Structure 1
Amino acid sequence: MTRYAAKFQLGLILGILLLAFWLSADFQQIAAGVALFLLGMMMLEDGFKALGGSVLERLLARTTGTLPRAMGFGVLATSLTQSSSLVSVISISFLSAGLITLQAGMGIIFGANLGTTTGAWLIAGVGVKVDIARYAMPMLALGAVLMFQRGASLRGAGQVILGIGLIFLGIAFIKDGFDAFSARFDLAQLALTGLVGLAVYTLLGAAATVVMQSSHATMLLVITALVTGQIGYDNALAVAIGANIGTTVTALIGAASANYQGKRLALGHLIFNFVTAITALVLIVPLRQSVDLISDLLGIRADDFALRLAVFHTLFNLLGIAIMVPLMARLLRFLERRIASPAPNVSKPRYITADLGTFPAPILTALGNELRHLYENAAHLICEGLNLRLEDLTQSKDIAVTVTRSNDPIMLDFERRYDDKVKSLHAAIVEFAAQKATLALPEATVTRLQELRDAAGAVVRAVKAIKHMRDNTQRFTTVPHGEITQLYDGLRQEIAQILVEIAHIAQATPDARPALWMEEERAALDIEGRAASQRVEGALQTRRITAADATSFLNDSGYAFEAMRALLDAAQLIYLPTDAPKPESVGVTDALAHDTQPTSPATPAD
């Protein structure tokens, strides 16, 4: 939808509302009730994000390994939060971050559709039969008090209570409005029968859900209208089917800023709901007969059309699941073909471009994956800057021999490669971390964001250090220069050894990653640095190297050890558990500086 079409739609809706307000005061009360209901749903959703968002995330991560578990999570989460949109947004975020599979995401959507039927049961069984306005008032007061507390949990609980109070008050407003409206007008006269009625009221249900962005609100209106006699039972069934179609628009809007996986999930949601709706329309007669049979068995009165509508809502959603689950494999293959995964681009962010919401797990996972992407680019550039190939090093049985034999010059524009593959990614990571740090996230999440941002800065420092020593390294290692070539090969071997060890750590499971190795290696760097200085001094005293070459090596040795320390800092922050010992603080501002210089030797004249 274009911007102008959206403005036209908004203007049309506002115009219709104003006209209806002018024509009927009772309609004003119904509209106000819908507004209170929608506001309550929003408050309830925000409250569950603050109060139970992390709980939902943990449950989702642990209970979606199989399709039945994923469906169970969808049913449970939607029944508890009464918000299928919240569950859908969490699912899209987790799928975009790679925390769950597409099959698990579809299973959650199937379950969430079934979970929405609990709202219809609550409205039909309690909402329109009990004076719930009397319960709304104390909830509004308690919720407002809790919302102004400092603790995030208390504020979240306040939003949940306030949301429930607003929902109750909205239901009461709508019920009273329809009662008054029915005394003056009889909308039941607009009832349509046969296929025409089925089609028209299905479209009305879909349109109402699209406008209000809530199938719960549509079901509330149709159940209330059904109880007050403003709509016929057959037409109400069609509205319920239409509401199922309209609810897919929320998922489509949520997927607009998602990556290809999120778009696949949204398309799958659309297909599932359309198949369910079409099947329900085709089988409307046997479905109604089945509803009557089940209602009689449950003891639901023949004239209690509200509860019978809830039975129908549940039955046709179960029918959709029964149809689509056996076709899951074909559906997944279709989605993967229809929305192909993009070709990987090493120069652009891959993981942090999707809308990941405000949920800590997908945010940290996506940032961690992007940081590993940055490190991989940097590791390859560091090796090529030293006339090495990372693939040769990781497959080598003797790194020293591989380094010594790597004396063919690798021609590359180091500065341009740095700008394309490292600097742009680093800027995206810093911006992403800064934006997410402004959200209402747990303190541990904000701390981890800072650690990952610091790790990105360490990676950049390592690359810049190698850039400074590249010219001399190429000069002395591509053509034999005696003792000085051996000294530079020694530096290359030290750096290569660390890169290979980090590559092994990246491939290992978290429990198998050796935290002690990094601490030992960091301590050994100081010893190696002093040993390198002593070797240069001995070679200079015996005139095996010139003073100019010694100065160049001492300076480049400083850059080399700075690069190795930075690589160790980055690897420790990226790969080790969060409770492992942390390196000293790594400043992002240092990594952003244009000219990073080593602390020991001065810059050589050459």
Structure 2
Amino acid sequence: MDQESFDFWKFLAGTGMFMWGMHQLESAIREMAGKAFRNGMQRFTSNTLSAVLFGALVTAVLQSSSLVTLMVLAFLGAGVLSLRNAIGVMLGANLGTTMTSWIVATLGFKMSVESISTPFLGIGILLYLFFESRIKLRNIGLLLLGFGLMFLGLDFMKTSIEQIAYQLDLQKIAAFGNFAFLVVGIVVTALIQSSSAMVVIILSAMSAGMIGLHQGAILIIGANIGTTVTVGIGALGGTADKKRLALSHFVFNVATGLLVFFFVDELVDFSMRAFSVEDPLIELVMFNTLFNLLGIVVFFPFVPQYENWLKKWFAESEPKGFTQFIKNVSPKVPDVALNALEKEIQLVFDRTLNFIINVWDGGDASQDGMSIWRKILYKPVNLMDEYHQIKSLEDEITKYQIALQEESLSVEDSTKLTALQLALRTLVYSAKDIKDVMHNIRDMEDEEDRAVIAVHGKLRNYTMDFLDVLEDYMKLEKVPEKAPDWIGENAKQYKVWMADLYQELKVQPIEYPISTLNNVIKQVVSGLDNLCSAVIHWKHLKKDVIDIGR
């Protein structure tokens, strides 16, 4: 081939610009559509059919199946979406992503691509550079920039391929049969990591007369199979559900692709007769849509069985650690990550309350027939295990919070993250306050002195009642304008306890160390103060975030 007749670097630049444009478009949409996507996901994926329709619609609008995949994985990990409905969304996303080929076929080859790309690029770059502090305008600029790069890359690929339209001898490939075109489609898509870019290359080759409709259809099938490599690479080292979803994508695309491959001539001929399309480019994108729609029709009735089969895989990749939600959610999706983080704080809250209750009630060590020595030796070990689990949760959540801070957060999300960090910190402080005196509380249970028994009873009853109040407050749907003054109430109660204790000492001295009693009272009050501070930070953060949003 005459090297001067084909500008390889122009073709490579065009491919790069198209893929980079898709990447910028995806970044902008992720920032702008996160909450809308989450709300839609929660509302419109109640069953598998609605999940398929939602996946198709949202992918067609967002123009990024990889973005939809990332969101689905995040919601799957956060427990918002079941594996079955996640499969449904992914099936729909395969159909929705064909919208890219429709845009390219109807606009990219019918209009001046340069005239489309330059306004997008000009306005997009200016917005991105001069409105960096205005997040919404900056993201709009990034969105326009992404579209502009996509169209300009399309033009570069199209014009460079047209130069070799009459130079390339496809008979060498055709001599190996249809299977050769299938392999080319798979390999090239796997290498460039973009089925959308591959579809553009195929359409460009068809527009230049390099390949026919049937050959283009086979390349499209190969591109659909090759794109599973991208998802597979993304799942490497991921969680079990992430790998299961990648396997689901692989099995669906390969099975559908091979099924259509063996009947490709019949399907193309049927499409041409049924829709009477004369434009081969439109015919090809029509085939692409029918191909993916056929796959959904074939797979849809078997989704429940498909889900059960997938759950048998990758058990060894189940996320490790004490957290239940954040380990399955990427910090790259801040809106979803924050919701998972809030669920994790609820877990810490429940564990902290459980730990405090066990300290006062003795937990397993209070079983009838257990000797006093076994109580002393056995229960603290279990309590320390509980405390260390809380600390382990804190470590995992803190690492996640740090990773989340690296993302581009809105003021609203930053405020929410800060409040959750404070809630976590004060919850752990509360557990530590009680942990530091739990051995003293154990000793007080076995004392026979009337004053020590009285102090123990007052502290225990007050603590249990206080925990009930906090739990009821956590259940409130409408947050009061002003947070309760629990810390002030605790301070008053502390003074009453101390006054009662010293009044008791005037009547009857005790052998139990007074300093220990003072310390226990102080630590219990401090623990309750930290606990209520955590609830206030957490419960009132939603009201503060709403005010900021206004």
- Distance verdict in 2 for CA 1:529–1:517, change over 3 Å: farther
Give the match for residue 208 of structure 2. 228
Aligned counterparts of 1:467 and 1:132: Cα–Cα separation in 2 = 69
8 Å contact kept, 1:458–1:569:
yes
Which residue of the other structure, out of 503, 526, 546, is the alignment partner of 1:538? Answer: 503
Give the match for residue 89 of structure 2. 108
Give the match for residue 271 of structure 1. 251
Unmatched segments (≥5 aa) in structure 2: 367-371
8 Å contact kept, 2:419–2:541:
no
Q: Report whether the alignment pairs 1:316 with 2:284.
A: no
Deviates further, 137-146 or 313-322: 137-146
Matches for 1:101-140 after TM superposition, within 5 Å: 101-140=82-121
SS of equivalent residue, structure 1 residue 130: coil
Matches for 1:307-346 after TM superposition, within 5 Å: 307-340=282-315
Give the match for residue 240 of structure 2. 260
Which residue of the other structure, out of 182, 185, 189, is the alignment partner of 2:171? Answer: 189
Deviates further, 492-501 or 207-216: 492-501
- Distance verdict in 2 for CA 1:217–1:492, change over 3 Å: same
Aligned counterparts of 1:59 and 1:240: Cα–Cα separation in 2 = 30
Aligned counterparts of 1:167 and 1:386: Cα–Cα separation in 2 = 65
8 Å contact kept, 1:233–1:305:
yes
8 Å contact kept, 1:484–1:549:
no
Q: Report whether the alignment pairs 1:442 with 2:416.
A: no
Give per-residue Cα distances to partners, 1:313-370, cap 9 Å, x unaligned: 011111011011111110111112224497897x633332345143233211221222
Deviates further, 355-364 or 517-526: 517-526
Which residue of the other structure, out of 488, 492, 516, is the alignment partner of 1:527? Answer: 492
Q: Report whether the alignment pairs 1:175 with 2:158.
A: yes
Give per-residue Cα distances to partners, 1:543-566, cap 9 Å, x unaligned: 1635x5433222210100111111
Q: Report whether the alignment pairs 1:566 with 2:530.
A: yes
SS of equivalent residue, structure 1 residue 187: coil
Aligned counterparts of 1:358 and 1:153: Cα–Cα separation in 2 = 18
User: Shift in Å at residue 29 of structure 1?
Assistant: 2.1
Give the match for residue 200 of structure 1. 180
Give per-residue Cα distances to partners, 1:349-395, cap 9 Å, x unaligned: 33323451432332112212222333343334333434533999xxx
Q: Report whether the alignment pairs 1:366 with 2:340.
A: yes
Give the match for residue 369 of structure 2. none
Aligned counterparts of 2:123 and 2:482: Cα–Cα separation in 1 = 55
Aligned counterparts of 2:22 and 2:514: Cα–Cα separation in 1 = 72
Unmatched segments (≥5 aa) in structure 1: 1-19, 393-404, 583-606
Alignment TM-score, normalising by the size of structure 2: 0.89
Aligned counterparts of 2:385 and 2:256: Cα–Cα separation in 1 = 52
**Letter of the 1:75 counterpart:** A
8 Å contact kept, 1:78–1:84:
yes
Which residue of the other structure, out of 439, 463, 486, is the alignment partner of 1:495? Answer: 463
State the Cα RMSD in Å. 3.0
- Distance verdict in 2 for CA 1:343–1:205, change over 3 Å: closer
Aligned counterparts of 1:426 and 1:367: Cα–Cα separation in 2 = 11
- Distance verdict in 2 for CA 1:202–1:501, change over 3 Å: farther
Aligned counterparts of 2:251 and 2:31: Cα–Cα separation in 1 = 32
Matches for 1:231-250 after TM superposition, within 5 Å: 231-250=211-230
Aligned counterparts of 1:25 and 1:539: Cα–Cα separation in 2 = 99
Q: Report whether the alignment pairs 1:463 with 2:431.
A: yes
Aligned counterparts of 1:576 and 1:244: Cα–Cα separation in 2 = 48
8 Å contact kept, 1:540–1:550:
no
Q: Report whether the alignment pairs 1:214 with 2:189.
A: no
Aligned counterparts of 1:343 and 1:188: Cα–Cα separation in 2 = 48
Give the match for residue 3 of structure 1. none
8 Å contact kept, 1:96–1:258:
no
User: Shift in Å at residue 139 of structure 1?
Assistant: 2.1
User: Shift in Å at residue 166 of structure 1?
Assistant: 1.3
Give the match for residue 475 of structure 1. 443
- Distance verdict in 2 for CA 1:468–1:191, change over 3 Å: closer
User: Shift in Å at residue 245 of structure 1?
Assistant: 1.1
8 Å contact kept, 1:89–1:357:
no
Aligned counterparts of 2:302 and 2:316: Cα–Cα separation in 1 = 22
User: Shift in Å at residue 240 of structure 1?
Assistant: 0.5
Alignment TM-score, normalising by the size of structure 1: 0.81
- Distance verdict in 2 for CA 1:419–1:21, change over 3 Å: farther
8 Å contact kept, 2:206–2:212:
yes
Deviates further, 306-315 or 169-178: 169-178
Aligned counterparts of 1:81 and 1:116: Cα–Cα separation in 2 = 9
SS of equivalent residue, structure 1 residue 480: coil
Instruction: Give the paired residue count.
Output: 537
Deviates further, 267-276 or 52-61: 52-61
- Distance verdict in 2 for CA 1:573–1:103, change over 3 Å: farther
